[in-house]
Amino acid sequence: MTKLTFFPENQKQFGEIAKGLNIESEIIQELEEPQRLVKFQIPVQMDNGENKIFFGFRSQHNNTLGPYKGGIRFHPDVSEDEIKVLSMLMTWKCSLADLPFGGGKGGVVVDPKKLSKGELERLSRGYVRGIFPLIGPDVDIPAPDVNTNAQIMAWMVDEYSKLKCEDSPAAFTGKPLEAWGLKGREEATGYGGVVILDRLSKIFGLEPKKTTLAIQGFGNVGYHFAYFAFKKGFKIIVISEIEGGIYVPNGLDPEETLKCKRARGKIAGCYCVGSVCDAFFGKKITNEELLQMPVDILVPAAVENVITKENASKIRAKYIIEMANGPVNPEALSILEKRKILSVPDILANAGGVVASYFEWLQSKEKKKWGKEKVLEGLTDTLEKAFNKVWELSKKENINLRKAAYLLAINKVAKATRKKYAIRGII
Ligand code: NAD
C-alpha cells in the first residue's frame, strides 16, 4: 500500500500568500485552521464476534463559500494533521473552480484490505453514525478518496438516509450510477487534465501529433488522461505504474494497453501500438527514468512528492501537468522555474473530480439525471474559465501558475469572509 505523507508546505504556502495579500489577522486566524475538527470512535463488530474500535476524523476547514466538500480516506497512515491540511486544500480547490463549496476531508485509520466485506460495510456505516449531526447535503458532503469507492458511498448514503428518515442522495457524491451517481464522474479528473493540456497547446502552439507525453500512474487519473489525450492526437510514449513503466517510442494506445494490463496483471510487456501489443515496439523503464525522459509534457498522475530538489534539475520536459496531489514540492518548483519549465498546479489541473462532484450533487438535489455530454461540456467550461483566470494573473503579475492559483483561491475566500464579518460588524 502506498504510504501517505502529509504536506506541511501547503500550510506554509497559505501563510506566505496571506501575508502578501494583506489579509487581516482575524481572517488569517480563521483560515489557517479548520473551523471544526472531530476525532471519533467507530466501534465495529468483527466477523469473529469481537468488538474493535477504529478512529475516524472529519476536518471542516471552511464553509464561507458553501457546504464543506471533500473525500473520506481509509488508510493506516491517516492522521489528524494530514486530514487538516487536505481539508484546507479542498477550500482552495473549490474556490478556484468557482464552486459553491468550502473544504472538508475525512478519514479512518484502517487498512481496508484486512477487513472482510461485511466488516468494511459496518465500518462505513459506523463512520456516518459517528458524524451524522455534522454532515448533510447543505452542511458537509463527503466523497470517495484513497481506498474508498462508489460501493462505500452507497452504504454511507443509505445509513445517512435511514438516520435522517428521508431519501438524501445529495449527502454524498461519488455514488454508483444506479444510486444517483454521475455519468462521466469516473473519467472526470483525467478529462479535466486534458482540458488544461488543450489550453496549453493552444497558447504554446503545440501540435498534438508532434507533442510527446510521459504519464506516471496508470490508475483512474493517469489512464483517463492518457485516453483523452490520445483521442486528441497526442503521442504518449511513456507510462508507468508503481512497479515500473514502459517506453513506446512510436506512441502507445491507452485502451489496448489497459486491456493488455488487465490480461497480464501488469503493464510490463504491454507495448501496444494500434491494436497490436508486441515486445518489438518498446522497452521497460523505471519511474525515475520516466521523470527524466526528453518528452514535451510530463504528467505525474500517481503520488505526491515525486519531483523534488534531488531530481528537478534532471527533468527534460518543457511542461508539467500536476494531476496527482502535490507531485512537485516547493523546492523543486523554484528549480523548475529557473529552468523555464512550466508546471500547472494540482489545485487547478486535477479539479475535474470535484467539479463533477458538484454536478452529481446538483443532479441528486434536483432528482434530474445529467447525460455524459452535459457533464463533459460543463467540465470543459469550468476548467477553461479557471485556467484562463490563473493564466492571466500569472502573466499580469509575472508569477508562477501555482502562486497565481493560490492567490485567486485564497483572495476569494478572504473577500467573502470580510463581508461576513463586516455584516456582523467585527471588521
Ligand atoms: P489510483 O489508485 O487509481 O492509481 C494510482 C496509480 O499510481 C497506479 O497506477 C499505481 O500503480 C501508481 N503508483 C502508485 N504509487 C506509485 C509510485 N510510488 N510511483 C509510480 N506510480 C505509482 O489513483 P488515482 O485515483 O488515479 O489518483 C492518482 C492521484 O491523483 C492521487 O494523487 C490522487 O490523490 C489524485 N487525484 C485523484 C482524483 C480522482 O478523481 N481519482 C481527483 C483528484 C486528485
Q: What is the mean pLDDT of residues 144-160?
A: 96
**What pLDDT is recorded for position 259?**
95
Pairwise pLDDT comparison (279 vs 88), residue with the higher score: 88
Check pocket membership of 257 for ligand 1, CB cut-off 6 A. Answer: no
Q: What does the mean pLDDT of the chain come to? A: 94
* 105 included as an active-site residue: yes
User: Which backbone phi and psi does 57 adopt, to 5 degrees?
Assistant: -130, 150
Give the residue-averaged pLDDT of 113-140.
98
- Using pLDDT thresholds of 50, 70 and 90, give the confidence band for residue 423: low
Q: What is the DSSP letter of 66?
A: S
Tens of pLDDT along 289-325?
999 999 999 999 998 889 999 999 999 999 999 999 8
pLDDT tens sequence across 185-241? 999 999 999 999 999 999 999 999 999 999 999 999 999 999 999 999 999 999 999
The answer, yes or no, to whether any atom of ligand 1 lies below 6 A from the CB of 266, is: no
The number of the ligand 1 atom at minimal distance from the alpha carbon of 302 is: 7
Give the global pTM: 0.94
Active-site entry in 93, 105, 235, 412? 105
Q: Which residues contact 341 (CB under 8 A, 6 or more apart)?
A: 315, 317, 318, 319, 320
Write down the pLDDT at residue 304.
86
Please enumerate in sequence order all residues whose Cβ is within 8 A of that of 100, keeping only pairs 6 or more positions apart, or say none: 65, 66, 67, 358
Quickly tell me which residue has 470543459 as its cell.
380
Give the whole-angstrom CA distance, residue 147 versus residue 2.
Answer: 11
Percent of residues, the chain, with pLDDT higher than 70:
96
Pocket flag, ligand 1, residue 216 (CB < 6 Å) = yes
Q: Does the beta carbon of 170 lie inside 6 Å of ligand 1?
A: no
Give percent of the chain with pLDDT exceeding 90.
86
Query: Would you say the CB of residue 220 lies under 6 angstroms from ligand 1?
Result: yes
- The pLDDT, as a whole number, for residue 24 is 85
| Residue 9 banded pLDDT, cuts 50, 70, 90 | low
**26-75: pLDDT as tens digits:** 888 889 999 999 999 999 999 999 999 999 999 999 999 999 999 999 99
CA of 217 to the centre of ligand 1 (A): 6
Residue 279 is predicted with a pLDDT of 85
* C-alpha of residue 221 to centroid of ligand 1, in Å: 6
